[in-house]
Amino acid sequence: MPARDGHLWLLPEAAADAFAARHGGPGLLGPEERTRLARLRGEGARRRFLGGRVLARYALSARSGRPLGGWRVRTAPDGRPEPEPSADGLRFNLSHTDGMVACLVTSGRGCGVDVEPAVAGAAAVRHLPRWFAAAERAAVDAAPAADRPARVAAYWVLKEAYLKAVGTGLRRELAGFSFTPPESRPIRVTDPARPAAENAAWHFELLHPAPGFVLAAAVQDGRGGRIHRTLIAP
């Protein structure tokens, strides 16, 4: 796979239990991950966490050829999970919401992924845009009322995927950078904290991996590449 490409793996939650059991389940996890898993409340939260961590190893092994049991995952100082040992500079990022788990793998490039319900809730539509950049707020306001929930959700996943890729997460203000409208192709980011050439080199994809979901994938220095997709069948 070309270095600029990423690979997006999608695991429906309905398939997560069987997938995790088939590929090693909790036995693959390191001590820190087992502690986190034990602290989670709710069967769904535990299912999505375990499914995501097994999926990450599966995706890393598919890219590198290493066995699933050969990976350990550490939490980097910025909070991102990182693979150990590193293999060809592989990076990954995880996201999950009720019903779907996603893992994006890249080689030598920062990456971020976020998956959410395709339609933002009424409270989010009312309050979330106030934290967006001015151009994004204007784009939400200009959309027909029926389209605003989907537009808010699209901006949200783009912003979160980008912040996860750069390693700041939601510690950074959402209004500090902006995206072109979600329907634009290619989608571009304007981040005053970074050089214009670096902004232009980002590759973003916005897609609906299954009915009811919207997902954004971000790859640093990924211009000219593509993001391959694999859906794990239930």
CATH classification at residue 215: 3.90.470.20
Q: Say how far apart CA 193 and CA 234 lie, in whole Å.
A: 42
The answer to whether residue 22 sits within a structural domain is yes
Write out pLDDT tens, residues 83-100. Answer: 876 767 899 999 999 999
pLDDT digits (tens, 9 = 90+) for 174-210: 999 999 999 999 999 999 999 999 999 999 999 999 9
Domain count, the chain: 1
Beta strands (DSSP E) in the chain are 6-12, 72-75, 81-84, 90-97, 100-107, 111-117, 178-179, 189-190, 203-207, 213-219, 227-231
Q: What is the pLDDT of residue 81?
A: 83
Prediction pTM value? 0.95
d(CA 196, CA 58): 36
Which among 2, 116, 102 is positioned nearest to 52, based on CA atoms? 102
Per-residue pLDDT reduced to its tens digit, 90-139: 999 999 999 999 999 999 899 999 999 999 999 999 999 999 999 999 99
Query: Is 132 inside a domain boundary?
Result: yes
Give the CA count within 13 Å in the CB-facing half-sphere of 31: 0
Examine residue 72 and state whether it is found in any structural domain, yes or no. yes
User: Residue 229: beta bridge partners?
Assistant: 8
Q: How many angstroms separate the CA atoms of 136 and 159, rounded?
A: 11
**pLDDT, tens digit, 9 for 90 and up, residues 35-76:** 999 999 999 999 999 999 999 999 999 999 999 998 988 887
- What SS3 class is residue 215? strand
Domain housing 87: 6-231
Distance CA 74, CA 230 (A): 25
59 assigned to some structural domain: yes
Indicate whether 1 belongs to any domain: no
